[in-house]
């Protein structure tokens, strides 16, 4: 159930708020967005695109002041890259100094653990790449529009069934069955891409920044987990499970609370965003130490070496942190306007 609760619920919340007509959208401060002007191939497709884009930008961000994200970005690209690299590097150093003052006592990471961890990170990167490419392809082919036009509860139900089914199919397939193992793993990644494809309505610059910050956050936390004492953070499993339950319930709040419950919605949003960042940052730390623990067990022959299963947990951590980074950056952009 831990993996079930670690699903990104923001997309389902967005789908829940698709208007039935032009006057039924419910927002606290309903500031209409101006959809970007694209060259339509037909009036019908243009109308669908504009309506879907506006609906998603309004609903997904879950903010209370919702102007559109401008396409024009000031500043120098090189300067932004330098700032981004400084943020990532500073985060790694600060996190290591605060949480990892005492390093490993066994003289460093053994070769087998290092190899196991590197293979896990490689599969995690490949999985995230598959999700990004597949999400872009699905969005380009119009899947995002069709999914948002469907019944939101049907989307959530089918999405969870497909996601959980392919995930547990991957877990319980033996590593010796190479073709089926990687087939189910690929199907799991494509399922995540389908659920996250509406993110492509957001501006590419915002998505790129969110991705950079997510990599920086997860990279710094993973560095701490890899260099800390053995099993130092494995005790976090229970508290993190309780925390993710609270975050998941806050993600469902906009689907059940009325729009007039302003204070409750604001608090649920804060728990969803910032509490979720803390919880899934902790899951990253826990998962990295769990990978190293499994590596030691695999070296002794107690468990099978299976880096594909290990990568699924880190992919879910990345997805949940990335979704929240997108929301936070969109809110900051709105507040500056």
Domain residue extents for the chain: 110-335
Q: How far apart are the first and last CA of the chain?
A: 41
The token pair at 94 is: 């600060």
pLDDT of residue 98: 52
pLDDT of residue 253: 75
Of the candidates 181, 186, 188, 187, the residue with the CA atom closest to the CA atom of residue 304: 181
pTM as predicted: 0.71
Could you read off the pLDDT tens digit of each residue along the chain, which spans 337 residues? 444 445 444 444 444 444 444 333 333 333 344 444 444 445 554 555 555 556 555 544 444 333 343 434 444 656 665 666 666 666 655 555 555 545 555 556 788 999 999 999 999 999 999 999 999 999 999 888 888 888 777 887 888 899 999 999 999 999 999 899 999 999 999 999 999 998 988 888 899 999 999 999 999 999 988 888 888 888 888 889 898 888 888 877 777 777 677 777 788 888 888 998 999 999 999 999 999 999 999 999 888 999 999 999 999 999 999 999 999 988 887 776 6
Q: In 10 A of CB 45, how many CB atoms?
A: 13
Supply φ then ψ for residue 150, to 5 degrees: -80, 170
pLDDT of residue 218: 93
Q: In Å, how far from its chain's centre is CA 145?
A: 21
pLDDT of residue 128: 96
CA distances from 300 to 23, 34, 231, 294, 295 (A): 64, 60, 17, 10, 9
Q: What is the DSSP letter of 198?
A: G
């Amino acid at each position: 159930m831990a993996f079930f609760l670690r699903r990104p619920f923001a997309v389902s919340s967005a789908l829940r708020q698709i208007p039935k007509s032009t006057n039924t959208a419910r927002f606290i401060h309903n500031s209409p967005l101006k959809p970007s002007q694209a060259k339509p191939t037909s009036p019908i497709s243009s109308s669908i695109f504009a309506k879907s884009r506006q609906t998603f930008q309004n609903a997904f961000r879950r903010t209370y002041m919702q102007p559109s994200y401008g396409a024009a970005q000031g500043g120098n690209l090189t300067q932004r890259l330098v700032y981004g690299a400084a943020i990532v590097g500073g985060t790694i150093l600060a996190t290591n100094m605060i949480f990892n003052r005492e390093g490993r006592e066994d003289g460093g990471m053994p070769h087998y653990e290092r190899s196991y961890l590197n293979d896990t990170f490689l599969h995690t990167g490949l999985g995230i790449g598959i999700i990004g490419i597949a999400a872009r392809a699905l969005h380009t082919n119009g899947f995002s529009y069709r999914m948002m036009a469907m019944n939101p509860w049907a989307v959530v139900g089918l999405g969870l069934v497909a996601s959980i089914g392919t995930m547990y199919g991957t877990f319980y397939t033996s590593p010796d069955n190479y073709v089926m193992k990687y087939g189910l793993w690929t199907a799991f990644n494509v399922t995540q891409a389908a659920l996250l494809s509406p993110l492509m309505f957001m501006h590419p610059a915002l998505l790129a920044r969110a991705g950079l910050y997510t990599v920086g956050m997860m990279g710094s936390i993973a560095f701490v987990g890899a260099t800390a004492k053995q099993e130092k953070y494995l005790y976090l499993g229970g508290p993190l499970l309780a925390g993710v339950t609270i975050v998941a319930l806050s993600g469902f709040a906009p689907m059940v609370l009325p729009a007039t419950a302003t204070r409750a919605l604001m608090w649920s949003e804060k728990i969803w965003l910032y509490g979720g960042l803390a919880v899934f940052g902790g899951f990253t730390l826990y998962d990295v130490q769990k990978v190293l623990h499994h590596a030691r067990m695999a070296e002794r022959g107690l468990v099978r070496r299976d880096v594909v299963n290990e990568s699924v947990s880190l992919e879910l951590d990345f997805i949940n942190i990335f979704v929240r980074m997108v929301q936070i950056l969109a809110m900051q952009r709105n507040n500056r306007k």
